[in-house]
Each structure stands twice: as C-alpha cells, then as structure tokens.
Structure 1
Amino acid sequence: MAWILIVFLILLGGLIAPFGDLLGTKIGKARFSILKLRPKKTATIITIITGGFISSISIGLLLLISEEFRQRLFVDIPFLQKTLDESKKALIPLQEERRILEEKINIKEKELNKLKSDVKDFRSGNVVIKKGQTLFIAQVNSNPKVKFDLAKIYNSADKYVQKIVIPSKKEIKNILLWKPTDISEIERVATKGGNWIILIKAATNVLKGDNFVFVYPELLQNKIIVRKGEVITSEILINNDLDYKNINFKIRTLLRKTRDQIKSKGSITNEITTRGDFIKKIIDSLDTNRNIKYKLEVVSLRDSKTSDPILVDLTITEE
C-alpha cells in the first residue's frame, strides 16, 4: 500500500506544477489585481493559493482512500509510547518464563543425552551394575562398637563390588564412593538402638572397568514380617477349578499375592521357599465327586524378618 501512495503523490505533484504555472500565467496576462496589488504579485498569490488548495485536496483524497495514512497522520505519540512501555513491562515476566523453560529444556536435553549413552552402553553389554541396583545387604545391631561394625560392612561391600567391576585387578583399593552425610546419617540412626538392615545401592550405571562406583545407603528396621503359623494369603477352589491346569494357575497366583503381601509389610527378599509338591498334595486331598469348596492357605513355617527368605507351606481345607 505504501508504494501506491508514493506513486500517487509523485503523479499528483507532477500535475500540480504545470497547472499552477498555467493559472499564474493566465492571471498575469489578464492584468488581474487584488487589493490594489500589481498584477504580477496578484498572479503569484493566486498561484500559491491554488497550490495550497490542490495540496489540500490531495491530502483529503489520501485520507479518504488510505486507512494507513489516516492512522499515521493522526496517531497519538504519547499514547503509543505509553502502550510501548506497558508492553515492555508485560514482556518482563514472559522473558523470565522463557529463561526458566530454556533451563528446563537444557536439563532435559542432558538427561536425554545421558539416557542415550546408557542405552548405548546397555546394547554394547558394558554395564555390569545398573542404577538403583542393590549391591550389598548387611545386618547392623546397635552396640557401643557400631561404627567399627559399619566399617567392616563398608570394607566387605567394597571388595564384593570390586570383583564385579574390576575382576582382573588383584590390588585391593576403595572403589565405593559415599557422600559423607550418608555415612554420618547411618551412624546417627544405628547408634539410637535397635536392629537394622543396611542396603548399599548404586547411584549410577557402572561400566566394567570403572575405577569408582557411586553408592548410597538405605537403612531399614529389621522387624518381623511374618510369624510362624501365620496365614499370609488364601484362595477358594470350587468344583470347576479341580483340574491340574486350574490348580497350578491358582497356586502361582497365590504365591504371587504372597510375595506382594510380604513386600507391602517391608520385606526386601524376593524368595518364597515352598516345601513339598503342592500340586500333588492338593490333588490327593480333593474329592472331585462332591460339590464342595476348598480353601487354600499359604502359611509361614517360621518367623521371618526384613531380609530373611520366606519359608511357606500350603494347606487345604474344606469350606
């Protein structure tokens, strides 16, 4: 639109110039006089007035046909400046949000690059310890020499991990790296009294041949999870379930529920040791000719604490 206005003004100026000159010439030849002025001066004044009149018409036409021209001609500069200042103020929090978002993006990009590196390491088969993996489990009893006992645990864990990460290295050295605050916290809690289980876990993925392994501890109270004779879980068998396939499925489901149950109580073991052939025992106990229900129960055979394997038996009774 702007270039059209420029062309229009150039053409208009070209038209005004000869018209004004022609008008002045004719008035001069006619010896026309205004206010007793000499004809020459009268012609000059009329030429000026005519030029101004034509310019006014030009501006009027521009105002009529061009909204952009009207806005530029009658714009309120102070108002625009105020609007600009307000816009700048409104932009400040947006710039801060942008900075925060850029920081988050950078963090996520670093995490993504780390993840890509970890995936690459996994694919190449070099990872021998995964992040969060439990490396060592030990029991700690509160006593006056608890710091000495903890030092022995740290040393044993160090030797064990070194065999995993650098199995060919004969020289014994400290491979585990701890936060001093973690060790202080373990000592503080352990000296309060009680029976505890310490879990030493990997803080990062570890590649074979790494010289150091960053670790962190978890300290759990070594409490009774299940007692001898306690029914941990149970399941009902109906007449339709009394075949080998269904009984086997029921037992596996029951043992899975048992594992979930002891985990929810605080056990860290993944082992549930069973005694005898459950399926044969159950089938021998069933009377498939009678339309009755049977109740299967998983019963603990001993007291088991936080880190102890769970030894269970399965009993079946009529409902």
Structure 2
Amino acid sequence: MTFIAQIIILLVLVGGVVAYIGNLVGKSIGKRRLTLFNLRPRHTAMTITVISGSLIALFTFLIVITISQDARTAILGLERLKTQVELKNQEVKAANRALIDLNNELERKRAQQEELEAKLTGAKNEIAVLQTARAKLSQEIKTTRQGQLLFKNGDIISVSLIQAGPDHDKLIDGLRRIIAGADLELMTMGIKVQGGVIAVLPEEFDDAVDSLTGKVGVYIVKLIAGRNVLWGEKVPAAFDFELNQLIYPGGEEIGEREIPAGLSEEKIQQEIMSLLKSVHLSARTAGIIPDNTGSIGSLPYSQIFELAKKIKAGKKPVTLKVVAKKEIFMIGPLEVDFKTVAK
C-alpha cells in the first residue's frame, strides 16, 4: 500500500473516532444542561463541537507523524528539505558555471596546442633545411680539406665563341673543339684524367646543339663547373650561351679624368691607374665578360710610364680620355687608347 493511501485511511479512522467521541460528549452535556465559562447550554454545546473538530485535526496530525516516518519527513523536514534543495540548486549552478569555464579553458588549450603544433612543424622543417645545408657545407669542407680545390660550383672553366645557325654538324664539331681546348688547357696545368678532364652529359650536349641550331649570330660559349672539383678529378661541366653583343664602338669614350699641372710623374701614374680601374669597372658593368683568370684586358706598364712622362712634360692641366681602340664585344678583351686634351 502506498504512503498516500495509508494517510487517507488513517485520517478517516481518526476523524471518525474523534467525531464520535465529540458527539457523545456534546449529547451528555446537552442532556445535563452543563455550562462552561458561564455560557448558556446551547453555546456550551457549540464550543464543545468546535473543540472536538480542533482535536480531530490535532490528534490526526500527532498520530500521523507518530506512526509514519515518511509523514514526519514530509511535514517536519519540509523546510529543511527546501533549504537543502536550494543549496543543491546553487551547487548545480556553480558546477555548471565551472563546467562552462573548464570548457572555455579547454578550447583555449586546444587552440594553443594547435598553434604550438604548427610552430613545431615549421621548426622541424627549418631544422631539416638547416641540417641539409649543414651536411652540404660539411661535405664541401671535407672535400676542401682532402685536396686542393680546382673549381668551385659555378666557376667559369673557359670562354669561347661559336657561330650559331642551322648547320647541325658544324655546331657539334665547334662544341667538341671547345671542350677539347678546355681539356688541353687543363692538361697543360698538369691535370691528367683518363678519358678527358671535362665531362658534359650527352643529353646536355644535344640540348646545347639544338639551342644553337635555332639561333642566328655569334654566341659566347661558357663552360661552367657543375660542382666543386678537386685537383685531379674529372670536371662535370655545362654550357651557357649568350649573344656576343657590341659593347663599345671603335673610338667611343669610356672614361676621363682631369689631371692638374704640377703633379709628379709618380702621381700622374697613380691617376692613370685609378682611371683605368674605373674604366674596367664600367666595362664589367656594361657587360664585358672576364676570362677564366678574371681579367678583361690589360696595358703594358711601359705605355702608362710613357704617357705620364708626356703629360708631365706638357706642364699644363689636361683632360685624359680613355677610348675604345676598336669595336669591343662582350667577349672582350678591353683594348683602349688614350687621348689628352689640353685645357
């Protein structure tokens, strides 16, 4: 039987018993015409009836809480239960807020983790690149320490000219002659390698021939070292072509310098040398290609000495001009004459 059913039955029984007793008391008082507190018998009977009803409710309450643990908990512990429920609700709200904060913190940590992982990946890539560069550098250092370095990667081995055009066989012969000439020059330096010093891959040789077949004009042919090469090793090389363009027409002025009167011959020689250095720099900038020694041309010192002596003898300030001796192309060399203009 459920708690509610027990309460209802108990209330009915207790109410009936108390009502019956109250009725007996009321009848007894009515027959005897008793009075309470100087009230009339009729009013006394009403008072007894009211008191009986109150006693019904009181006895019902006392009996219910006496015999039923659930009733005592429901009636006497209600306020305490409400307080506990309120406290629990507050704890739940606080827990929910804490959970929200934890979720937000978790999201922030996840974002930070993703950012750190991205940085870590970038750092790993950088480390891999650095390790590759370090290994390459270590190999080059090791190579350099093991023997004398003949060529560095990208060095010019030789510079020559070739006439481009549709004659395929002529181009093949010309490029082979260039390789043979570079081979001979290296062998005269004491380098001996079985099968020749210069090695150009067959497919690169064919590509070079095809490239020149579709061109017109005279081209500069540079043999370029494909890697660092030690003395006595075979030299892997590749071709580089550039049209041999005219840089300075014959007689064109390349540079000039004002030389005041009264300078010593030694000072005048220094001025001439400084002018020639400036002219060489201008020529390189204009596109003249140096040979494999790094030179683009030179003058005998005797010519400089005679020119300084002539300027000194004139006893006047002059403008010294450097002009192209003839047409000068990219292949060089830089051949010049001097002109003096008295002021």
Give TM-score, length-normalised by structure 2: 0.61
From 258, 263, 275, give the equivalent of 2:279.
258
From 46, 60, 64, give the equivalent of 1:36.
64
Q: Aligned residue for 2:221?
A: 198
How far the C-alpha of 1:97 sits from its partner, in A, is 8.2
Determine the C-alpha separation between the residues in 2 that align with 1:153 and 1:222. Answer: 16
- If you compute each CA radius of gyration, which structure gives the higher value, 1 or 2? 2
1:316 aligned onto 2:337: no
From 253, 268, 281, give the equivalent of 2:289.
268
Q: Aligned residue for 1:130?
A: 152
Determine the C-alpha separation between the residues in 2 that align with 1:208 and 1:38. Answer: 116
> For structure 2, which runs of at least 5 residues remain unmatched after alignment?
1-60
Q: Aligned residue for 1:302?
A: 326
Determine the C-alpha separation between the residues in 1 that align with 2:229 and 2:185. Answer: 14
How far the C-alpha of 1:218 sits from its partner, in A, is 1.5
Structure 2 vs 1, CA of residues 198 and 96 (structure 1 numbering), >3 Å: closer, same or farther? farther
Aligned partners of 1:295 and 1:317 also within 8 Å: yes
How far the C-alpha of 1:204 sits from its partner, in A, is 1.5
Structure 2 vs 1, CA of residues 191 and 59 (structure 1 numbering), >3 Å: closer, same or farther? closer
Aligned partners of 2:248 and 2:327 also within 8 Å: yes
Determine the C-alpha separation between the residues in 1 that align with 2:307 and 2:269. Answer: 12
1:53 aligned onto 2:80: no
Kindly indicate which of the two structures has a greater share of residues assigned to helix. 2
Aligned partners of 1:162 and 1:175 also within 8 Å: no
Determine the C-alpha separation between the residues in 1 that align with 2:306 and 2:127. Answer: 60
Q: Aligned residue for 2:134?
A: 112
Aligned partners of 1:135 and 1:161 also within 8 Å: no
Q: Which amino acid aligns with 2:329?
A: K
> What SS is found at the alignment partner of 2:279?
helix
> What SS is found at the alignment partner of 1:148?
helix
Q: Which amino acid aligns with 2:135?
A: N
Structure 2 vs 1, CA of residues 106 and 75 (structure 1 numbering), >3 Å: closer, same or farther? closer
Q: Which amino acid aligns with 2:296?
A: E
1:149 aligned onto 2:174: yes
Root mean square deviation of aligned Cα? 4.3
Q: Which amino acid aligns with 2:163?
A: N
1:28-48 superposed Cα distances (whole Å, 9 cap, x missing partner)? xxxxx6793336615555569
Q: Which amino acid aligns with 1:38?
A: T
1:284 aligned onto 2:306: no
How far the C-alpha of 1:229 sits from its partner, in A, is 2.9
Determine the C-alpha separation between the residues in 2 that align with 1:74 and 1:34. Answer: 49
Determine the C-alpha separation between the residues in 2 that align with 1:48 and 1:245. Answer: 121
Q: Which amino acid aligns with 1:146?
A: L
Structure 2 vs 1, CA of residues 76 and 309 (structure 1 numbering), >3 Å: closer, same or farther? closer
Determine the C-alpha separation between the residues in 2 that align with 1:224 and 1:205. Answer: 33
Structure 2 vs 1, CA of residues 248 and 62 (structure 1 numbering), >3 Å: closer, same or farther? farther
Matches within 5 A, 1:150-299: 150-158=175-183, 160=185, 167-169=191-193, 171-173=194-196, 175-178=198-201, 180-181=203-204, 183-210=206-233, 212-239=234-261, 242-244=263-265, 246-269=267-290, 270-275=295-300, 276-286=302-312, 293-299=317-323
Aligned partners of 1:131 and 1:203 also within 8 Å: yes
Aligned partners of 2:269 and 2:308 also within 8 Å: no
Aligned partners of 2:288 and 2:296 also within 8 Å: no
Q: Which amino acid aligns with 2:311?
A: S
Determine the C-alpha separation between the residues in 2 that align with 1:182 and 1:34. Answer: 118
Aligned partners of 2:186 and 2:197 also within 8 Å: no
**How many pairs align?**
271
How far the C-alpha of 1:133 sits from its partner, in A, is 0.8
Structure 2 vs 1, CA of residues 52 and 179 (structure 1 numbering), >3 Å: closer, same or farther? farther
Q: Which amino acid aligns with 1:232?
A: I
How far the C-alpha of 1:191 sits from its partner, in A, is 4.8
> For structure 1, which runs of at least 5 residues remain unmatched after alignment?
1-32
Aligned partners of 1:186 and 1:219 also within 8 Å: no
Structure 2 vs 1, CA of residues 136 and 148 (structure 1 numbering), >3 Å: closer, same or farther? same
Determine the C-alpha separation between the residues in 2 that align with 1:278 and 1:268. Answer: 24
Give TM-score, length-normalised by structure 1: 0.65
Determine the C-alpha separation between the residues in 1 that align with 2:204 and 2:126. Answer: 28
Q: Which amino acid aligns with 1:247?
A: I
Structure 2 vs 1, CA of residues 114 and 161 (structure 1 numbering), >3 Å: closer, same or farther? farther
